[in-house]
Amino acid sequence: MAIHSGQRRGALAALVGFAVIYAHPAHGVSESDFLAELPVVLSASRLEQPKHLAPAAVTVIDRAMIDASPALTIPDLLRLVPGFQVGSWSGSERTVASHGMADQLGRRMQVLVDGRSVYDPVFGGALWQSLPVALTDVERIEVIRGPNAAIDGANAFVGTINITTRAPAAHDRGQAQLTVGSYGRRQVDVAENWAAANGRHRLEVRAGAEHDDGFRQRHDTLSSRRLSTRYRFQATPRDRIDVQLGLRSSDVEKGFPGDDAQPLRDTALAHHYQQISWQHLMTGGSDLSFQFYHSYQSNKDAFDYAPYPGAFLDFGFTASRYDAEVQWRGSPVPGARLVVGSGWRLDEASADYALARDANISVQQLRLFVHGEQQLSDDWLLQAGAMGEDFEGVGQYLSPRISLNHTFLPRHALRLSAARGYRIPALYEQHARFGIYSRSDGSEIFIAETSPNRVRPESIIAYEIGLVGEAAFWHTRYDLKLFRHQIEDVIDPVEIDRVLVVPPDGYASVWEFRNSGKMDLRGIELQVDTKPTARTDLHFTWSFADANGSRLKRERPGLTVYAGMRGNVPQHSFSALLRHRFQHGWHGSLSWFYVDPMVWGGEGDGQKATNRFDLKVARDWRHSGSRIRLEFLVQNLFNRRYYDFYVPNDSRTGNLFDRRLYAQLVVRH
């Protein structure tokens, strides 16, 4: 175990604190102050259900937790999820992982925004820095901690991050927020709502801009602009239509001094989407819904290539996604509920370097899904479902899941579940072979062509035992999960002996993607939310993971090299958020994050144990009919500086995270 004495004392203090809370409830606090409905979740099965009856482990981050957290971005907020790690590829580019096994793109996690997948079809993962969504836009995040391919399809491999934005007129009529702070951080967000007198028409417009200079010694400044609108129309008492439009454009600095393949340069990201959904309430409590969206991403990243005068490299890409889905939910027989639906998707992508000769690609996907639950008795609930998908050029795959929930006490349940899922390789992994040719003068040349070695999807079989419930008197909610994940056909680049261009005066290292590894991951996740007083809340998580696995690293005549994958998974990780509401409008929070040493994949490096505290202090008051909040945030409170994702080497500087100070002003009317 890699936790030193300070961390052991911290963990012991947390456990003692929980014991004190249970033994000595706060004076003057009654059961009614604590007892509340267990959170209702939707993402785990597409059916509304209490959290303890969900077929998978779910972490809910609501608006109150978002307001209390010192986080400035959505990825930073996800550090509060058990077993999650967040890395900073640069000052603005984040990656999110569940129990490690991720590079700068986090390809094994599905990310949805209002039901719209933002998973990048070219490289995989979510490009967080290009999403037209700010933290102020978010109403709620549900995180499925485990494979959810039976509901969300392939790429919901180790989990799903389901982000729900604020609906029009669900909050204040208007809001403005200004953030300033360390490293040139400047951000402004504004929103305005309009509603018709009869309440049938609601419209919201949001706009924002931000600037961040990134890490101190990196060329990674970000400047971006975003605009979105959402229109909700209650056409009839049974029919509701939602239309959403949004866009974001960003200018991002990239590169390293003196690096031919990654020179200092300016790039441009763009993302826009259009989405329409319709929901119809039918007789008998069932409903029918339809959704269609189109999203577009582009990355302009071309530059002069120093080793060859007049030549240039183009790391850019464009990608469009068209997706349509229809779904029915209802109760066909007493004691049972069912959701069934189908969908179609078309991905179109272009990338001269990433896809080499197959620069323009169009891929279709068809899917059919079903999930049902049957109440076997008052105490037993059986759930089962599956997603069948047909991917053009890849094949047909079925992702089933079954779970059994036993309510052994009111508001306490035991869950047994098993699931299978897949991760479809991104287009880059399917098509690209790439090389770096080092010449005798020290310069480097990139080589790229289409790989004839098409890879298979990664697969996972997951077994989980969950214990979820709530101690009514202390309003303490707990979520304990024991799991085993068996992962096969892990996709990784393998160095091979083939060369694409015969080097006249140097050496060429060539890689292509292979199904080169496997992993057996076992562990425990714990989440506790407790309320020691009517004004105090504590959110605490801990995870332990034991990993065994290896991957093929290099293959040449007479030489086969395997590398262990154990180091990619941190053994222990902790997080906590303590928040308290003082008198006279003051409130504050303290968050803590600890992650054992781990190795990020791809362009990432080994990272030492991270131990960080963040602080937030705020004051609320009213003025001329408006509600005003002034916030002061300190990230890395004790200035325990650490290198995030990159560490320094002979040619590159690292991502040094030191103390950061910010101030935020929020005005609502």
- Amino acid at residue number 172: D
Which of the four pLDDT bands, split at 50, 70 and 90, describes residue 434? confident
| Confidence band for 199, pLDDT divided at 50, 70 and 90 | confident
Give tens-digit pLDDT for 593-631: 999 999 998 888 899 999 999 999 999 999 988 999 999
| Residue 545 predicted with pLDDT over 50 | yes
- Of the chain, the percentage scoring pLDDT greater than 90 comes to 66
**To which residue do tokens 């580019």 refer?**
93
Query: What is the per-residue pLDDT for 171?
Result: 57
Q: Are 398 and 369 in contact (CB under 8 A)?
A: no
Q: Is the pLDDT of residue 253 over 70?
A: yes
- For residue 435, give the CATH number of its domain: 2.40.170.20
Greater confidence, 128 or 291? 291
R_g (Cα) of the chain, nearest Å: 25
455 in Cβ contact with 432 (< 8 Å): no
Residue 22's pLDDT is 34
Q: What is the pLDDT of residue 557?
A: 75
Segment 639-666 shows an average pLDDT of 90
CA distances to 116, 348, 649 from 120, in Å: 12, 11, 30
Question: Would you say residue 226 has pLDDT above 90?
Answer: yes
Which residues fall within 8 angstroms of residue 87, CB to CB, at 6 or more apart?
Answer: 94, 95, 97, 102, 104, 600, 604, 607, 644, 645
Task: Determine the Cα–Cα distance for residues 256 and 218; give it in Å rounded to an integer.
Answer: 8
Q: Quote the pLDDT of residue 389.
A: 97
- 21-30, 45-54, 197-206, 553-562: the lowest-pLDDT one: 21-30
In 3D space, the residue among 52, 81, 56, 62 whose CA is nearest the CA of residue 527 turns out to be 81
Q: Check whether 18 has a pLDDT greater than 80.
A: no
**Spatial separation of the C-alpha atoms in residues 34 and 26, rounded to whole Å:** 11
Confirm if 300 and 343 have CB atoms less than 8 A apart: no
Question: Lowest-confidence range among 23-32, 386-395, 474-483, 524-533?
Answer: 23-32
Rounded Cα gap, residues 492 and 507, in angstroms: 22
Under the banding of pLDDT at 50, 70 and 90, the label for residue 377 is very high
Tell me the percentage of the chain whose pLDDT exceeds 70.
89
Helix (H/G/I), strand (E/B), else coil: 440: coil
pLDDT interval class at 85 (50, 70, 90): very high
Domain span including residue 280: 5-668
Hey, what are 647's tokens? 């560490």
Predicted pLDDT at 358? 63
CA separation for the pair 442, 133 (Å, rounded): 43
> Is residue 243 very low, low, confident or very high in pLDDT (cuts 50, 70, 90)?
very high
pLDDT digits (tens, 9 = 90+) for 62-82: 999 999 999 999 999 999 999
Is it the case that residue 30 has pLDDT exceeding 60?
A: no
Evaluate whether 281 touches 289 at the Cβ level (below 8 Å). Answer: no
Mean pLDDT (the chain, rounded): 88
* Structure confidence at residue 352 as a pLDDT band (50, 70, 90): confident
pLDDT winner (highest mean) among 212-216, 324-328, 447-451: 324-328
Q: CB count, 10 Å around CB of 590?
A: 17
Which pair of structure tokens corresponds to residue 397? 């795959």
- Over 50: is that where the pLDDT of 638 sits? yes
Q: How many domains does the chain have?
A: 1
Closest CA relative to residue 519, chosen from 465, 567, 453, 561: 567
Q: Compute φ and ψ for 568, nearest 5 degrees.
A: -75, -10
For residue 254, pLDDT beyond 50: yes
